[in-house]
Structure 1
């Protein structure tokens, strides 16, 4: 069975809270969706706002290889002058090859919202679809509130979709607009619809009951051949059906085929790409593509995964472009340490005592509040230090931060730093935008003379977590920072009752990690004679 993928990220997805896309954003996402193999890309509602009108104008220049651009709208507002209805005319003018319009299929909406009779509603749907078909476009009919409408009055709902088919619609898409239908209801109703209409059936599910993915899959199992949804499930209220989860479930679990999607290895990168365009952090717990989707923390799990990954993973993560990860924590066992060491290219001795010491050391640190899930650089330094492979490049002898402010005083954050490198001592002072920035600047300033390469390091993320909330202002805090040199990024951690001290620990690890890898890389690429001299 070949399933059509209909993406509405650019239209229905933008109705979600905190979601905003520029015209250029929409063009970029459209190109990425086409590259992945989506069949239909719903670009927006051209009659509703200037942005969507501009998108369709510029989208004409897109060199789409697979996808057909689709415009969205509604049936005409009244029967008086369907041919001149601004919404329908706008759809025709946008020149999209496929047009999707929605109409009322729940009698309560027809009566209370539009105030028209059953006959008038059916005629409105019929004539609206017919007008668009006669303009030379393929037309899909979105049966709004269909499942609620069918349960309320099946005869009315079925009559309305029949009117759309009579008007020339090539697809009837059943919409769970309120997102409250259960999977077994979806299956039964889709089965019934397929018995009474002669065109392909689609599903458009919302996630208000956290069932949009399950409902979409059940619809396909009942015979629907088009699935509508959004990338990452964005959309109004609780979101739309998440295509990122639907696609691999259908393809890998049910053996469904898609016209243009043959390889899912770009699924994870596409998900991240859309999050990046939206300026939103990726959902680490997202099925299939999330950072945590194939992450293992418990020692027993890791031990089993190292022997056979399928024991604790429902698919090979590489199939969807993701990867297996092992986390190091207080739940870790020797298997975690061994796995991480292999991942980092570190050879560990077979003697059990070394493992025990490492595991106990990590568990002790985690008990104090350290977390290495997002700070693998700090963990690697701990591992290499315990094995005698790493020695800190500098030592902070003294640090002081001065915060000065007042009603008539300009706010100043200043850090004083005294650092020892080898036998030399360097003392510096630096002002910053906040105490941590001042501390960072002072530390770099003190080390720049010894290690000029550190000017490449940039702090790209900084997070603080209070660990003992009931302790109030005396609570421990954990600081996680992410650093980058423009090519690579790495995470480090610090814990203390003093936020400045915790920040300094994380900054120390960040610079040490960078220096260690820079020097390791230099040693690996140096000529043999040079390496011997060093």
Structure 2
């Protein structure tokens, strides 16, 4: 079984993505997670570019990594200096890491226009840089920047760059599609020519960008043609359209192409790693990410679900468990009885196909969705609905009435005041009359409900609302339209979604809030 090294550049190339800004602590935490996942090489940054990267290399030494090797990134030395006097090289060696990656120009336009030196001088820069670094570190990787574009413009010079780096002792030559414009068939043609010129035993890797949506495909094609190292980032984050996505590359290599890598034994943690990095980056996790996204193994159509219940492989290209993901069955107006049976089974409820209750549930869901409800992301509301139709409503309080006022003043910021009257438990319990302020009517209503319920249910303090979304539904024009409110709540390690629909945004919000608090109390009771 052929082995491939996985080289992660999330902390350097990934940090160049728009909206990504890792703190020093963020970088340390991500590095430790990647080491736990058994990534082979973790590129920590460019120590000569900013103080934070330099400090990272200093602090990561306080942690004992179990598998990964930390890599420092830099360029060839400045044309007007020598390796001994160049500040970049001083800092590359000062951080004392086992591996250094340097990039050099392989496209003639960059040599002539960016560096403004001769083509021969550029070759000497590359050779001298590698020879100088080799005695000081375990390995030197050479990134041939813009290699594929350079090859298209001048094949002989691009090959000369690789030959010079190989002669100087580079441990691996990394072919870079820096602009991300190369297509898979071009990758194949060019790599075949490279191996013909430099030998079939050439040790090389691939570093692809995603500007043509081909970074993963290009990386897999390079490995198929002999690349022994793949560079990329978690979830493909990076400058412009991003880098090659390791969360897609790794499972494809291991599960579909028969290659081995160190993190293969940790593949079941892939989804966890993907979500962890985005959580640290304070980014929402895209649901449609292949392999690791929430929707990657989600089934909605009734025919699909019916088939999946019999044999998951009918509509799943791999078992989601292999990459740490889960199968999800969605409930919507497209749903058949199979969807409801599967969903109920997840909730611990057994329903027979010919059950009158099953038909009742399907009919009620389709009626509600015709009125604007949507349960795909509001699974908590769905679960509460099923229990209600079973005759086992989960009710812990009753909202008797509510009132919301907007308070405006020329001297102070606008606020809203909500007053609620609740009865705990419903029907026969104690009545609580409470008011609270908030930044807007929904926030005020939430604060008042929370304040009223906490006296009876202190565990409400553990819960918080993480997201609130409003969607105007098609139908009546303008402000007469119905709105759908979706609320995402969390408590400790559990998250759940609830939904409400009305022509009144406060009423829709109130429905979703009541379901959210009810579900929290239901979860706590179920644990006991």
Q: Which of 266, 270, 283 is matched with 2:269 structurally?
A: 266
Aligned partner of residue 438 in structure 1, secondary structure: helix
Cα distance per residue 1:345-389 (max 9 Å; x no partner): 012255343222211211111122212122111001111111112
Q: Which of 360, 363, 367 is matched with 1:357 structurally?
A: 360
CA distance in 2, matches of 1:332, 1:252: 31
Which residue number corresponds to residue 468 of structure 1?
474
CA distance in 1, matches of 2:31, 2:411: 53
CA distance in 2, matches of 1:250, 1:501: 51
Which residue number corresponds to residue 77 of structure 2?
76
- The answer as to whether partners of 1:233 and 1:242 remain within 8 angstroms in 2 is yes
Cα displacement (A) at 1:460? 2.6
CA distance in 2, matches of 1:296, 1:394: 34
Cα displacement (A) at 1:35? 1.2
CA distance in 2, matches of 1:428, 1:136: 68
Cα distance per residue 1:251-275 (max 9 Å; x no partner): 0000001145323100000111101
Which residue number corresponds to residue 235 of structure 1?
238
Q: 1:59 to 1:410 in 2, by over 3 A?
A: closer
Which residue number corresponds to residue 217 of structure 2?
214
Which residue number corresponds to residue 494 of structure 1?
500
CA distance in 1, matches of 2:95, 2:458: 56
Which residue number corresponds to residue 65 of structure 1?
66
The answer to whether the aligner puts 1:423 opposite 2:428 as a matched pair is yes
- The answer as to whether partners of 2:341 and 2:353 remain within 8 angstroms in 1 is no
CA distance in 1, matches of 2:138, 2:394: 70
Q: Which of 479, 483, 486 is matched with 1:480 structurally?
A: 486
Aligned partner of residue 414 in structure 2, secondary structure: strand
CA distance in 1, matches of 2:148, 2:17: 22
Q: 1:223 to 1:376 in 2, by over 3 A?
A: same
Which residue number corresponds to residue 532 of structure 1?
none
- The answer as to whether partners of 1:13 and 1:236 remain within 8 angstroms in 2 is yes
CA distance in 2, matches of 1:210, 1:142: 21
Cα distance per residue 1:238-291 (max 9 Å; x no partner): 000000100000100000011453231000001111011101111111000000
CA distance in 1, matches of 2:220, 2:412: 63
Q: Which moved more, 1:510-519 or 1:381-390?
A: 510-519
Cα distance per residue 1:445-480 (max 9 Å; x no partner): 444454454344322322222223983333322111
Structure 2 unaligned residues grouped into runs of 5+: none
Runs of 4+ with deviation above 6 angstroms: none
Cα distance per residue 1:16-66 (max 9 Å; x no partner): 101111111111111111111111111101111111111111122221121
The answer to whether the aligner puts 1:191 opposite 2:197 as a matched pair is no
CA distance in 2, matches of 1:63, 1:14: 24
Q: Which moved more, 1:189-198 or 1:330-339?
A: 189-198
CA distance in 2, matches of 1:138, 1:521: 53
Q: 1:112 to 1:462 in 2, by over 3 A?
A: same
Q: Which of 325, 328, 332 is matched with 2:331 structurally?
A: 328
Which residue number corresponds to residue 100 of structure 1?
101
Q: 1:19 to 1:452 in 2, by over 3 A?
A: closer
The answer to whether the aligner puts 1:378 opposite 2:387 as a matched pair is no
Cα distance per residue 1:99-141 (max 9 Å; x no partner): 1111110111111111111211111111111111133442111
CA distance in 2, matches of 1:442, 1:238: 44
CA distance in 2, matches of 1:445, 1:27: 39
CA distance in 1, matches of 2:439, 2:466: 15
Which residue number corresponds to residue 248 of structure 1?
251
CA RMSD of aligned residues (A): 1.8
CA distance in 1, matches of 2:121, 2:451: 77
Aligned partner of residue 83 in structure 1, secondary structure: coil
Which residue number corresponds to residue 224 of structure 1?
227
Which residue number corresponds to residue 161 of structure 2?
160
Q: Which of 338, 343, 349 is matched with 1:340 structurally?
A: 343
Which residue number corresponds to residue 513 of structure 2?
507
Q: 1:301 to 1:102 in 2, by over 3 A?
A: same
Which residue number corresponds to residue 279 of structure 2?
276
Which residue number corresponds to residue 312 of structure 1?
315
CA distance in 1, matches of 2:23, 2:462: 32
Aligned partner of residue 266 in structure 1, secondary structure: helix
The answer to whether the aligner puts 1:395 opposite 2:398 as a matched pair is yes
CA distance in 1, matches of 2:493, 2:157: 60
The answer to whether the aligner puts 1:33 opposite 2:28 as a matched pair is no
CA distance in 2, matches of 1:450, 1:351: 41
Q: Which moved more, 1:83-92 or 1:3-12?
A: 83-92
Question: TM-score, normalised on structure 2?
Answer: 0.95
Cα displacement (A) at 1:336? 0.5
Cα displacement (A) at 1:429? 2.3
Aligned partner of residue 17 in structure 1, secondary structure: coil
Q: 1:504 to 1:109 in 2, by over 3 A?
A: same
CA distance in 2, matches of 1:116, 1:454: 67
- The answer as to whether partners of 1:191 and 1:223 remain within 8 angstroms in 2 is no
CA distance in 2, matches of 1:450, 1:175: 62
- The answer as to whether partners of 2:142 and 2:174 remain within 8 angstroms in 1 is yes
Q: 1:299 to 1:167 in 2, by over 3 A?
A: same
Aligned partner of residue 97 in structure 2, secondary structure: coil
- The answer as to whether partners of 1:47 and 1:73 remain within 8 angstroms in 2 is yes
Aligned partner of residue 268 in structure 2, secondary structure: coil
Aligned partner of residue 25 in structure 2, secondary structure: helix
CA distance in 1, matches of 2:138, 2:450: 63
Structure 1 unaligned residues grouped into runs of 5+: 523-534
Which residue number corresponds to residue 54 of structure 1?
55
